[in-house]
Structure 1
Amino acid sequence: MTATTRLQGIDALEAMFQQAVEQDRAAFLPYFPIGYPDYDTSIEAIAAMAEVGVDGFEIGIPFSDPLADGPTNQAATQIALENGTTVRSCLQAVKKLRERGITQPMMMMGYVNPLIAYGVEQFVVDAKAAGADGLIVPDLPPEEAHDFSEICAREGMALVFFLAPTSNDKRIEMVTKSATGFIYVVSLVGITGVRRDLPPDVANVIQRIRAQTQTPLVMGFGISTPEHARSMNGLVDGFIVGSALVRAGKEGVAPVRELTEALRKALD
């Protein structure tokens, strides 16, 4: 598929999940922030992951107060901000990656304040024009997302909401009715970060959500090793790895590529 005929938005995500289903595995979406350890290296790291064959991306927009992020990602986004990374330069990075022929879906992950400051409608329109496929906004609950939902629906862009092990049935119902593209399932109560073991009751959480929806479920928080990645097959539709890749990124592109390759191969 060439860049000119690339599916976009919700359609691109549907095709991504369908391909993973056909290959009998979970889809792998790495997270990486633009501007870390510097702007050019972040673009090269994402390009390297694309070459290794990841399924999609969570592209991080740095923010000064990232509530859901653990120490690794917080430190990385702080460095990115000090490097002068802005919402606009993150969109330019996506455009640059598309111009290089990278076709995997790209979700913009950012907090609500910078997006409101940019202008919600303008951001969604500009993100689509740059080649992004949707938004992940950790501090945007469905109750307050009317403007985002309306504009994303109009532009065919995905808008992802979160569920946690603590989410009750009412919250699950609300999120499953509001989310498009996929639902981000937090594997544990807390913040992002590398962990040795995933919570034992994670399958029960998935089962409770799956009972209410057929929307793809993507798990994040704490997934960091090939063994973790392998355990996602048959459990969820996709998973996100962030802190482990960000930690590798401190040393440059080669360690990011190496870890990504190990995670991807574990799925086959």
Structure 2
Amino acid sequence: MSRIAGVFAALRQEGRGALIPFVEAFDPDRATSLTLLKGMAENGADIIEIGMPFTDPMADGPTIQAAGRRGLQAGATLNGVLELVTEFRKENDHTPLVLMGYLNPILSHGVEAFCFDAAKAGVDGLIIVDLPAEEADLVLPYAKENKLDVIRLIAPTTSDERLRHVLAGSSGFIYYVSITGVTGTRTASAADLARDIPRIRTETDLPIAVGFGVRTPDQAATVVAHADAAIVASALIDTLCKENAEAVIRDVRALADAVRGVRKAA
């Protein structure tokens, strides 16, 4: 069983959802990224998503775009991100790590080599934002060979027919983009989630994580009352910019406590 599958299986037994916080690699520097990864894992993060800085992050709002620029200015490269994962794994071999980014750097690295190197470093899953379902075969065989989950994005505008097509080859969990737009803007309501999540569940048994706009402990709790995990990104980056890494870790603890306070029906 993969680390991601193992986490969700354990959480089902506990009757609760997961917290998935986000770290943009090398924002504002490598050392801070490593501090955040360790601190999040120690303070309630069930899975951690790591952003791979890229020059043209088309799905990201201003907050994550700025974080990516800072990461690139600090010297982030794809190899550097993988080295960061390797260092984290020296002390933690249980918290799943998911890389989120764009296809271009992976193509430059070589898809086969990237999947091998990511797995060797200790990565568990990939979210490739701009990889369309029609081109998924570029990655899926190599990801499967290296036991990497390929996590697909589903939007409110995804039709039932398209949903089935996108889910083909998906593993780990489903990333539900709960709003139409870019990251870190508005937040989906409880009514939105109550309408949309059941439609996805009719097509897959994979856990469903909700992102794009989840900012507060109350919002995270609302998400896991309907889905299986809450993904929090822009709010944590805002805290990092305004305060420091310790404040981000404090916020992760508050989010984790809120998620753990919601009991899910068996």
For the criterion TM > 0.5, the same-fold answer is: yes
Amino acid at match of 1:100: E
C-alpha RMSD of matched pairs (Å): 1.4
Structure-1 separation of matches of 2:85 and 2:78: 11
Q: Which runs of 5+ in 1 are unaligned?
A: 1-9
- Amino acid across the alignment from 1:216: P
Aligned residue runs from structure 1 range 98-247, under 5 A:
98-101=89-92, 103-193=94-184, 195=186, 198=189, 200-247=191-238
Report how far residue 199 of structure 1 moved: 6.8
Residue 29 (structure 1) aligned with residue 44 (structure 2): no
Larger mean Cα displacement after TM superposition, 90-99 or 207-216: 207-216
SS of the residue corresponding to residue 72 of structure 1 reads helix
Q: CA shift at 1:205, angstroms?
A: 1.3
Equivalent-residue separation in structure 2 for 1:267 and 1:238 (angstroms): 8
Q: Which of 249, 256, 259 is equivalent to 2:248?
A: 256
Match of 1:266, as an amino acid? Answer: A
CA positional deviation for 1:102 = 5.0
Q: CA deviation at 1:196?
A: 6.0
1:266 equivalenced with 2:230 (yes/no): no
Q: Which runs of 5+ in 2 are unaligned?
A: 261-266
Secondary structure of the equivalent of 1:136?
strand
The answer for the alignment partner of 2:79 in structure 1 is 88
Give a deviation string over 1:150-188, Cα, whole Å, max 9, x none: 111111110011110000011110122221111111001
Aligned residue type for 1:169: D
CA 35–255 in structure 1, closer or farther in 2 if over 3 Å, else same: same
- Alignment partner, residue 264 of structure 2: none
Number of matched residues? 259
Moved more, 200-209 or 257-266: 200-209
Deviations 1:92-117 (A, max 9, x none): 00000001225200011110001100
The answer as to 2:16 corresponding to 1:51 is no
Q: Residue in 1 aligned with 2:263? A: none
Scaled by the length of structure 1, the TM-score of the pair is: 0.93
Counterpart AA for 2:257: K
- What stretches of structure 1 move > 6 A for 4+ residues in a row? none
**In the aligned structure 1, how far is the partner of 2:127 from the partner of 2:22?**
11
8 Å CA contact 2:177–2:212 kept in 1: the answer is yes
